[in-house]
A and B are shown apart, each in its own frame.
Chain A
Amino acid sequence: MDLTLLVIQCLNGLQLGILLFLLASGLTLTFGIMDLVNLAHASLYMVGAFICASLTFATGSFVWGVVLALPLTGLVGYALERGVIRHLYTRNHLDHVLATFGLILIFDTLAHLIWGAEGIAVPLPGFLDGQVELAAGIVFPTFRLVIIVGGLLVAGGLYGLVNHTRLGMLIRAGASNRTMVSALGIDIQTLFALVFALGAVLAGLAGMLIAPITEASIGMGNEIIITAFVVIIVGGIGSMRGAFLAAMLIGLIDTLGRSYIDDLFKAVMSAAAAETAAPAVSAMLIYILMAVVLTFRPQGLFPPKVR
C-alpha cells in the first residue's frame, strides 16, 4: 500500500470529520440540552454559506466574508430561536421534526428568491488556493489544511467553553438535568437562545468552509445533516467530546472507504462487479457503524455522564 497516499487520505478524512464536527456540535447542543430535534440546522449551514458568498463578493475577500458572516449567521439563529423554535420546546419530537422540516422548505425558498437557483462559486484568495508540501511527497491543498487547523482550534475553544466557563457549566448541567437547572433559578430561556445561536454560528462556519470547495447552493445542508445526525448518535447525544470523536471516526471511515473499498473488493470479485458495488457499500459504511453502535451501545460511544 502506498503510504503517502494513506497519509493524504487520512488528512482528507480528518478534514471531512472537522466539518461534520462543526455541524454535529450544534446539533448535539440543541438536542442534548434543549431536547430539540432541529432539522433546520441544515438550513443554517446553507445560510452561512450564502451570506459568506455574498460578503466575499461585496468585500472582495473570503476572509472578511467569513469574519462578517459568522455574527450574522448567529443573529439569524438567534432570531429563529426567538421567533419559532422557542414555541416548540414543550411539544414532542414529531412536532419538532415537522416544524423544522417546514423551516428547511422556507429557508430553501427564501434562498432561491434572494440568491437564485444556480448557486454561487466562492473564490479563495491566492494564499489559500494553493498547496503545501507537509513532508516529502505529501502535498495537500492549503485550504483543506486550514479547515483542519481552524476546526481543531474551534474544537479546543468549545472544549474550554464547555468545561471551564460558567456558561459551559450551565450547558453541561442543562444536558444532565434540565429541570434542576431551571429550578435553581437559571434563566433557561436566555441560555437556550444563546446555545441555539452558538449552534447556528458553528453550522454556518461549516457551510462557509465548504462553500469554496463545492459551492453555496440551495439544499446543500440537507445532504450532510443526515451524516451529522449519525455522528451525534454514534458519539452519544449531548456529548461534545462524543461528537468530536465520532465526527473524526466517521470522516475517516467514509474517506478511507471511498479510497480503498474498490481495491479490497477487486481481490474477491470481478473488476466490473467491484466498481458497481464499491460506491454503494462505501456510502453505507457509516450507517453500518451506526447500526452496530446502536445494537451494542444504544447510548452512544461517549454519552454525557449522569442523566
Chain B
Amino acid sequence: MLKTLLAGAALAAMLVAPAGAAEVKVGFVTTLTTPAGVIGKDMQDAVNLAVEHIGGKMGDLDVNVIFEDDGFKPETGKQATDKLVQQDDVTFVAGFIWSHVLLASRKSALDAGKFLISSNAGPSPIAGKLCHENFFSTSWQNDQTPMAMGEVLNQQGVNSIYIMAPNYAAGKNMVAGVERTFKGEIKGKDFTKWGKDAQLDFSAELAKAKASGAEGIFVFYPGKAGGAFVKQYQQAGLQGKVPLYSVFTVDSISLPKFQAANMDGVLGSQMTQFWAPDLDNEQNKKFVLAFKEKYGRYPSFYAAQSYDTIYLIKSAVEAVGGDLTNMDGMRAAMKKADFPSVRGKFTYGNNHMPVQNFYLREVVKDADGVWTTKVVSTVYENHQDPYAGECSMQ
C-alpha cells in the first residue's frame, strides 16, 4: 500500500514539476569527484558567481542550475546528460571539461532537441563534421591554443621540440595543433595513458625527451598531471636546458600548490591561452575581482569559460523574452555572441566555435606576491579553428 502511495506521489510530482516552474533550467556536467574534481569545483564556483551577478534571473525567469558529476568517465557523463535531458527536462546542457566525455554525451543532448554548450572541451569532430546548430562553445577548439604555441615557437626561433600529451581525444588534437603551425623538427612524441588511472610518473618519457636532443618540450597535461609533470621536469634537471612550452598545464589551480611548495622554477614559464586574469576589459575585471573576493583565489580559465556560459545563456533567454519554446530565436541570439564576455568582444564562426584572440602568457608574481599569469603578447587576432571548413552549416 505504502509503495503504491509513494509511487503515485512520485508520479504526480513528475507531472507537476515541469508545468509549474517559471524558470530556466540549465544542466551543468562537470567533474566533481576524483582528483580532477578540483577543476569541476572551480567551474561550479564560477557558475554560482555568475548566477549571483545576474541576480538569479534571466529576464523574468529564475535560473535553476543543476550540477551533475561525470566522474571523469565518458559513460558516467553520458548517463548524467541523459538524466538532465529526460528527468530534469533542462533547456541547456552545459559544462564538459573532457573531450571524450563531451563526445560521448553530445548525442543525448542534441537528439532531445536541447542546446549543448561546451564550457571547456573542444574536440575536432564537434567543430567539423559533427557540428550542430544547437551546439555552442564558450571556450575554444582544441587545436587552436597549441597552434598559437607553435607560432610562438617559430617566433622564438626554436628549431626542434619533443612532444608529450595524454592519449585521448584532446591530447591528439593538441598535438595536431602544434604540428600544424610549428615549422621545426619534431624529435619525438609520447602519448601517455589517461583517464581515472592516468599515468603520472613520466620518468621514461622525460629520459627520452632529454636524449632526443630537442631544443624544447611541448606538453599538454591538464589537472593534477600538469603539477606532476612540472615537478618531474624540474627534478630531471631539464629546467634551463630544455625550455618547457605548455598549454592548459600550468593554471590557477596548480599555481597555488607550486607556490606552497616553493617550486619557483615555474615562474617565467610560458603558455598560450585565449584569456588571462589580467585581460583588460570591464567584464573580466568584475569577474576576477569578485571571484578573488568570494573564493580567495584567482579564477582559472575553466572558471572564466563557465562564467561566460551563464551570460551566453542569459543573452539567449532574454532575446526571446523568456519564451523557452522559441529555439530558433535563442539560437539566433547566441550566434551573435551579444553578451559581455570576459575575453572581450568575439564572434561565432559557422560551426559555433568562438573566433577570438590568443595570447602568450607568462607566470609572474602579482602585486601581493601571489603567483599568477599575465599577458605578454597577442599571438593571433580573431583566430578561427581549422575544422570550420568541414562543418556543413553556413
Contacts and interface: CB of A to CB of B under 8 A. Distances in A.
Interface of A: 2, 4-5, 8-9, 12-13, 15-16, 57, 117-124, 129-131, 139, 141-144, 210, 212-215, 217-220, 222-223, 226, 255-256, 258-259, 262, 275-276, 278-280, 283
Given A118-B253, A129-B234, A9 B207 contact: yes
A119 B38 contact: yes
Interface in B136-168: 167
Contacts of A255: 203-204
A293 B34 CA distance: 33
Interface in B248-294: 253, 257-258, 260-263
A130 B231 contact: no
B235 A213 contact: yes
B35 A218 contact: yes
A221 to B, nearest CB: 11
Nearest to A132: B237
Nearest to B257: A121
B95 to A, nearest CB: 17
Contact of A141 (B37, B200, B236): B236
Contacts of B19: none
Nearest to B34: A219
* A2, A217, A220 pick with most chain B CB within 10 angstroms: A217
Given A12-B207, A16-B203, A121 B258 contact: yes
B228 interface: yes
Given A119-B35, A223-B196, A223-B198, 12 more contacts: A8-B207, A118-B257, A119-B257, A121-B257, A141-B237, A215-B228, A217-B224, A219-B34, A258-B205, A262-B190, A275-B189, A275-B191
Contacts of B197: 222-223, 226
A275 to B, nearest CB: 6
Nearest to A278: B191
B202 to A, nearest CB: 9
Given A129-B235, A141-B236, A223-B197, A215 B207 contact: no
Closest 6 CB pairs of A and B: A123-B261, A131-B237, A12-B203, A214-B228, A121-B261, A223-B197
Contacts of B190: 258, 262, 279
Contact of A213 (B201, B253, B260): B201
Given A4-B211, A119-B224, A213 B231 contact: yes
B303 to A, nearest CB: 14
A178 to B, nearest CB: 33
A150 to B, nearest CB: 16
Contacts of B345: none
A139 B203 CA distance: 12
Given A16-B201, A123-B262, A279-B167, A5 B207 contact: yes
Nearest to A133: B237
A273 B208 CA distance: 20
Contact of A120 (B193, B204, B257): B257
B204 A258 contact: yes
25 contacts: A2-B211, A5-B207, A16-B203, A118-B257, A119-B35, A120-B260, A121-B258, A121-B263, A122-B261, A123-B263, A141-B237, A212-B231, A212-B235, A213-B201, A213-B231, A214-B200, A214-B224, A217-B224, A223-B200, A226-B197, A256-B204, A258-B190, A262-B190, A275-B189, A279-B167
Interface residues of B, number: 39
B41 A117 contact: yes
Interface string B99-137: 000000000000000000000000000000000000000
B232 interface: yes
A130 B257 contact: no
A121 B257 CA distance: 6
Interface string B205-218: 10110110000000
A219 B71 CA distance: 13
A10 to B, nearest CB: 10
Contacts of A215: 224, 227-228, 231, 257
Contact of B203 (A15, A118, A222, A275): A15
Contacts of A219: 34-35
B192 interface: yes
Nearest to A130: B237
Interface string B168-205: 00000000000000000000011111001110110111
A5 B208 CA distance: 7
A136 to B, nearest CB: 14
Contacts of A214: 200-201, 224, 227-228, 231
B227 A119 contact: yes
Nearest to A259: B204
B227 A121 contact: yes
A96 B186 CA distance: 50
B261 to A, nearest CB: 4
Contacts of A226: 197
* A8, A142, A262 pick with most chain B CB within 10 angstroms: A8
B35 A117 contact: yes
Contacts of B35: 117-119, 217-220
A118 B40 CA distance: 11
* B204, B235, B236 pick with most chain A CB within 10 angstroms: B204
Nearest to A56: B261
Contacts of B210: 139
A143 B237 CA distance: 12
Contacts of A262: 190
* A124, A141, A278 pick with most chain B CB within 10 angstroms: A141
A118 B38 contact: yes
A280 B167 contact: yes
Contacts of B263: 121, 123
Interface string B36-77: 011001000000000000000000000000000000000000
Nearest to A123: B261
A143 B203 CA distance: 12
B179 to A, nearest CB: 11
B150 to A, nearest CB: 18
B38 A117 contact: yes
Contacts of B234: 129
Nearest to B171: A279
Contacts of A276: 167, 191
A26 to B, nearest CB: 20
